[in-house]
C-alpha cells in the first residue's frame, strides 16, 4: 500500500485510544500510558474504515457489501457445529468445544504450556476434521516438529501444516491455500501487518492483526486460536482491545515449578466462565486431571496447626483444597498481611471479624495465608476455613484432618449459606472427610435431604464454629 507523509499520533497502551496530542491521562483513566507512534497520513482513517467493514462482516456479509437485516429465526445457528478438541478439560472450559468461526484467545506466562496444549488440540482436530494450519511467529518449523514428536501420538499430526511466519498478509494467503478447519496464531505479539509502520507487538499492530483475524474468521468460518503473552501482573500484554474483539479469553495459569496447570475462561460468548480445566504437565504433554481434589490434597500432612480443609465449587464440580495460615509476632509496629490465593481485602475483613466477633486480637501479629496448589478460588465459600486456619495457628491448636470448614463470613460474624453445599458434601464424603462445619441453613437443608453418613455441624456464627472445633 502506498504510504503518504508520516504523521505522529499518541496511542494509549491500556485501551488503544489514539490521540493527536500527548495526554497525561487517557479517557480510560490510565495515567502516563501514551506513547508516540508514526503512521502514514490517511492510514488512520483507512484503518478505521477497515475496522468498520470487518465488524460488519460479523453479521454475515462480505467486505464492502451492505448488510441486510435478517429475521432472527432465519439465522442459521452455529451451535451445532462445534469442533471437539479431543481434550475433555478444554472442551469443558470452552462450553462444549470450539464454535465455528469463533476467535479464541489463550493467554499465559512464558513457558506455562500454551504451545503444548494448542499442538495437542491441533493433532486431535486434524485427525477428526482435517487440516489445521499452525502459524508460529516464535518458533521454527523444526522446533514445532520436535515438540510434536514428543507429545502427539494419535497420528493426527499428519494433518498439521506448520508455517513459520509473522506477516499477516502471508498468513491470509496460506489460509487460502490450505483451507484449514482450524487456524492457530502463536503468538499475536509477533504478527504484523504491512499497512502499519510500527513494530510487531506494538499496540496498533496487535489491534490491527486482531481486527484482521476477526475479519478472516467471520468471512471464512474458520475458528482461530490466538496465543497471547501476559505481562508480569497477569494482564494481557498490548491493548485490552483484543479482548473485546474475540469470543473467548482463556487464561492458562499454574506454578511453573509445580506440574499443575489450570485453564479458565475469563470471557466466553458461548458458555459459562465458571468452569476450570486442570492438567498436569508431563514429558508427553499436558495430561487432563480427573480427580482434582486428590491432586490438591496430595501432600496434605494431616493434623497440624494452621491447616484446614476447605472446598470450592468451580464450574460444575466441587473441589477440596487445603488452606494454610501462619501467625507470627510482628517485628515493628506494622503487622504484615500476606496471602496467596485469597484477596487481601477479603483477608483484612476476615481478620477484623475474628477480632471483633471472636475476640482474637491479631494487631501485633504477621498473618500469612496460602491456598495450597496455586488455585485462586472465586467466591467466598472458603472464608470460614481461612478464619479457622488463622485461629488454629494463633492458638497453636491443630484441627483434625478429617474436618471440612465451609461458609461465607458476614460482617456481623454470621455464617451465610453457600451454594451447591450438597455436591460439596458428597465430594467430601468421597474424599474421606468425617465432619463438615457449615452454615446452619445449609446444614438444615441437607439434613432434610439426608443420605449422607457425614456428621454435619451447622453453626450460626464464627464463635460457634470455634466452639464446635473445640478450639477455645
Ligand atoms: N521434555 C519435556 N518434559 C517435560 N516437560 C517439558 C519438556 N519440554 C518442555 N516441557 C514443559 O513445557 C513447557 C514449555 O511449554 P510451551 O512451549 O508449550 O510453553 P509456552 O507457554 O508456549 O511458552 P512460550 O511463552 O515460551 O511460547 C516447559 O516450561 C516445560 O514445563
Ligand atoms: Mg509457545
Which residue shows C-alpha cell 499477516? Answer: 168
Measured in whole angstroms, the distance separating CA 29 from the mean position of its chain's CA atoms is 24
Residue 133 resides in a domain: yes
Higher per-residue confidence, 260 vs 302: 260
In a domain, 197, yes or no: yes
User: In this structure, is the dihedral angle defined by the CA atoms of residues 325, 329, 330 and 333, taken in order, positive or negative?
Assistant: positive
What is the model's pLDDT at position 235? 57
Nearest CA to ligand 1 atom 25: 110
Largest Cα separation within the chain, whole Å, is: 79
- Distance CA(120)–CA(261), nearest Å, equals 15
Crossing angle between the packed helical segments 203-220 and 43-57, to the nearest 10 degrees: 30
Q: Which of 90, 107, 116, 261 to mutate to test the pocket of ligand 1 (most atoms within 8 A of CB)?
A: 116
pTM to 2 decimal places: 0.73
pLDDT attached to residue 451: 64
Q: Are residues 85 and 185 in the same domain?
A: yes
- Statement to judge: residues 156 and 277 lie in one domain: yes
Same structural domain, 335 and 399: yes
- Distance (Å) from CA 28 to ligand 2 centroid: 31
User: What is the predicted pLDDT for the residue at 57?
Assistant: 43
Query: How many angstroms from the chain centroid is the CA of residue 215?
Result: 25
- Indicate whether 56 belongs to any domain: no
71 part of a folded domain: no
Domain that holds residue 21: 1-41
In degrees, to the nearest 5, what angle opens at C-alpha 178 toward C-alphas 175 and 181?
Answer: 80
Structure confidence at residue 224 (pLDDT): 95
Residues 193, 221, 109, CA angle at the centre, nearest 5°? 55
Distance of CA 151 to the CA centre of its chain: 23
Residue of 90, 105, 114 best suited for mutating to test ligand 1, as the one with most atoms within 8 Å of CB: 114
Residue 58 lies in a domain: no
Chosen domain end from 240, 257, 288: 288
CA of 281 to the centre of ligand 1 (A): 8
Q: Running DSSP on this structure, what letter comes out for residue 172?
A: H
Q: Is the pLDDT of residue 236 over 80?
A: no
276 plus 333 within the same structural domain: no
In a domain, residue 149? The reply is yes
The verdict on 303 and 333 lying in the same domain is yes
At 95-137, the pLDDT tens digits run 889 998 899 999 888 888 999 999 999 999 999 999 999 999 9
Q: What is the mean pLDDT of residues 206-235?
A: 85
Residue 143 cell numbers, joined: 522446533
Q: Which of 288, 310, 330 is the last residue of a domain?
A: 288
Mutate to test the pocket of ligand 1, among 90, 107, 109, 112 (most ligand atoms within 8 A of CB): 112
**Structure-model confidence comparison of residues 204 and 279, the more confident one:** 279
CA distance 221 to 304: 56
Q: What is the pLDDT of residue 53?
A: 43
* Alpha carbon of 77 to ligand 2 centroid (Å): 33
Q: Which residue has the higher pLDDT, 354 or 297?
A: 354
CATH number at residue 351: 3.30.230.10
For the chain, what is the mean pLDDT?
A: 84
Q: How far is CA 109 from CA 45, 113, 134, in A?
A: 35, 9, 20
Going by the DSSP 8-state scheme, the letter that residue 167 receives in this structure is B
Q: Do 321 and 281 belong to one domain?
A: no
State the burial class of residue 108 (Cβ atoms within 10 Å of its Cβ: 0-12, 13-18, 19+): buried
Confidence bin at 52 (pLDDT 50/70/90)? very low
Residue 205 lies in a domain: yes
Last residue of a domain, one of 242, 259, 288: 288
The CA–CA distances, whole Å, from 291 to 163, 250, 295 equal 37, 22, 7
Cβ proximity of 74 and 187 under 8 Å? no
- Selection from 266, 263, 221, 261 nearest residue 242 by Cα: 266
| More confident: 378 or 280 | 280
Measured in Å, residue 169 CA sits from the centre of ligand 1 at 29
Lookup result for grid cell 466477633: 357
Q: How far is the CA of 112 from the centre of ligand 2 (A)?
A: 8
Give the Cα-Cα-Cα angle 244, 187, 375 (nearest 5 degrees).
70
Question: Residue 56: is its pLDDT beyond 70?
Answer: no
**Number of domains within the chain:** 3
Regarding the beta carbon of 449 and ligand 1, being less than 6 Å apart is answered no
On whether both 284 and 303 belong to a single domain, the answer is: no
Confidence label for 401 from pLDDT (cuts 50, 70 and 90): confident
Distance CA 309, CA 86 (A): 33
Asked whether residue 63 is domain-assigned, the answer is no
pLDDT of residue 449 exceeding 80, the answer is no
Considering the domain architecture, whether residues 238 and 305 belong to the same structural domain is answered as: no
How large a percentage of the chain has pLDDT more than 70?
86
pLDDT at site 156: 74
Same domain flag for 317 and 283? no
Instruction: Please give the residue that has the higher pLDDT: either 21 or 57.
Output: 21
Query: Is residue 256 domain-shared with residue 134, that is, in the same domain?
Result: yes
Same domain, 167 and 259: yes
> What is the average pLDDT across 323-347?
90
Ligand 1 centre from 324 Cα, in Å?
30
Judged against a pLDDT cut of 60, whether residue 43 lies above it is answered with no
Percent of the chain with pLDDT over 90: 42
Q: Please indicate, yes or no, whether residues 355 and 275 belong to a single structural domain of this protein.
A: no
138 lines ligand 1 (CB under 6 A): yes
Look at the alpha carbons of 212, 59, 229, 124 in this order and tell me if their dihedral is positive or negative: negative
Amino acid at each position: 500500500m502506498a504510504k503518504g507523509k508520516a504523521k505522529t499520533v499518541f496511542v494509549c497502551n491500556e485501551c488503544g485510544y489514539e490521540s493527536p496530542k500527548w495526554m497525561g491521562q487517557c479517557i480510560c483513566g490510565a495515567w502516563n500510558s501514551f506513547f508516540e507512534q508514526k503512521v502514514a497520513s490517511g492510514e488512520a482513517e483507512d484503518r478505521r474504515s477497515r475496522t468498520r467493514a470487518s465488524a460488519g462482516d460479523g453479521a454475515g456479509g462480505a467486505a464492502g457489501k451492505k448488510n441486510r437485516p435478517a429475521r432472527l429465526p432465519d439465522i442459521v445457528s452455529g451451535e451445532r457445529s462445534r469442533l471437539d478438541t479431543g481434550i475433555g478439560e478444554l472442551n469443558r472450559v470452552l462450553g462444549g468445544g470450539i464454535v465455528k468461526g469463533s476467535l479464541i484467545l489463550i493467554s499465559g506466562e512464558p513457558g506455562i504450556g500454551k504451545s503444548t496444549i494448542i499442538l495437542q488440540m491441533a493433532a486431535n482436530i486434524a485427525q477428526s476434521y482435517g487440516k489445521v494450519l499452525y502459524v508460529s511467529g516464535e518458533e521454527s518449523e523444526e522446533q514445532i516438529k520436535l515438540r510434536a514428536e514428543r507429545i502427539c501420538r494419535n497420528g493426527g499430526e499428519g494433518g498439521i501444516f506448520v508455517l513459520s511466519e509473522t506477516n499477516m498478509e502471508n498468513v491470509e494467503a496460506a489460509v487460502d491455500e490450505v483451507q484449514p478447519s482450524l487456524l492457530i496464531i502463536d503468538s499475536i505479539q509477533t504478527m504484523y501487518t504491512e499497512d502499519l509502520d510500527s513494530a510487531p507487538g506494538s499496540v496498533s499492530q496487535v489491534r490491527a492483526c486482531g481486527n484482521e483475524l476477526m475479519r478472516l474468521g467471520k468471512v471464512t468460518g474458520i475458528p482461530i486460536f490466538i496465543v497471547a503473552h501476559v505481562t508480569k501482573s497477569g494482564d494481557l500484554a498490548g491493548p485490552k482491545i483484543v479482548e473485546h474483539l474475540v469470543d473467548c479469553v482463556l487464561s492458562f495459569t499454574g506454578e511453573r515449578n509445580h506440574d499443575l496447570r489450570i485453564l479458565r475462561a475469563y470471557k466466553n460468548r458461548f458458555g459459562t466462565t465458571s468452569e476450570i480445566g486442570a492438567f498436569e504437565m508431563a514429558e508427553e504433554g499436558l495430561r487432563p486431571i480427573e480427580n482434582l481434589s486428590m491432586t490438591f490434597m496430595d501432600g496434605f500432612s494431616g493434623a497440624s496447626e494452621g491447616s484446614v480443609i476447605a472446598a470450592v465449587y468451580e464450574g460444575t464440580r466441587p473441589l477440596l483444597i487445603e488452606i494454610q495460615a501462619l501467625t507470627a509476632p510482628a517485628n515493628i509496629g506494622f503487622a504484615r498481611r500476606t496471602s496467596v490465593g485469597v484477596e487481601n481485602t477479603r483477608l483484612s475483613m476476615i481478620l477484623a471479624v475474628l477480632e471483633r466477633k471472636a475476640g482474637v486480637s491479631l494487631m501485633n501479629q504477621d498473618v500469612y495465608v496460602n491456598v495450597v496448589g496455586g488455585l485462586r478460588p472465586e467466591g467466598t465459600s472458603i472464608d470460614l476455613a481461612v478464619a479457622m486456619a488463622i485461629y488454629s495457628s494463633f492458638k497453636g491448636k491443630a484441627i483434625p484432618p478429617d474436618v471440612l470448614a465451609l461458609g461465607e463470613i458476614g460482617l456481623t460474624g454470621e455464617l451465610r449459606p453457600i451454594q451447591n453445599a450438597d455436591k460439596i458434601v458428597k465430594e467430601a464424603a468421597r474424599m474421606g472427610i468425617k465432619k463438615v462445619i457449615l452454615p446452619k441453613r445449609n446444614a438444615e437443608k441437607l439434613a432434610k435431604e439426608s443420605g449422607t453418613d457425614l456428621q454435619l455441624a451447622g453453626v450460626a456464627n464464627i464463635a460457634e464454629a470455634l466452639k464446635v472445633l473445640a478450639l477455645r
